[in-house]
Amino acid sequence: MSQIVDDAGREAETAEHPDDAGPGAETPEHPDDADQRRLGERLQRLRTERRWSLTELAEESGVSRAMINRVERGVSSPTATILGRLSGAFGLTISQLLDEALDHEVPRGADPDEARGVQRGATADSWTDPETGYRRRPVSSASFPADVTEVRLPAGREVAYPASAYAFLRHCIWVVDGVLEVVVGGTPTRLGAGDRIELGEPADVVYRNPGETGVRYVVIVVRAP
């Protein structure tokens, strides 16, 4: 069985400030809290569709049952590593796991940009790893045949993904700015701006920023034939 991953040790309790609102007033939901809740609901739906118990998903993903339960209830934000393990268990990319658009068809509005398939940068959603500050922003839509994601990794940080996150997928990583060290199956490769690497057979992968400034890179994912 794969090693069980849990980030309960880094989870911090959020202090409440009852004096900030008057008696009977409701505290508005923070956008990050809403995203966390929706991710939990999506994870629970995926598990229910497969008729998996929490224990079965824990065994499939290598993520602890307690951690999955906290994520599903929206009380804990998973790290990038945990997302990678969960997406691998469901046979999805991380973007597919995060993308609520896969659950329902969103009707097009009257905006000319939408009619032409244009998405402005200011409207693009992103997800940030609460532990490392690693931030991923989808470039392609859920209906596009390739999964294209822009990633920013702060200096001195690293994110690890298990081999299960790469099953049935082909990955190409292209560095835009900075220096990225990609460790595939224990073998490191250092990439600079303009360099790219294509991953082969599924293996554990670590993305590491050894530099003193942030690195920005693009990940392109397609289903293997």
What SS3 state is found at 56? helix
At 158-211, the pLDDT tens digits run: 999 988 888 777 899 999 999 999 999 999 999 999 999 999 888 999 999 999
What pTM value is reported for the model? 0.71
At 102-152, the pLDDT tens digits run: 443 334 445 555 545 666 654 557 889 989 999 999 888 777 888 899 999
Instruction: Count CB atoms within 10 A of the CB of residue 210.
Output: 15
Distance CA 208, CA 198 (A): 16
> Residue 76 — very low, low, confident or very high, per pLDDT cuts 50/70/90?
confident
The answer to whether the beta carbons of residues 220 and 150 sit under 8 Å apart is: no
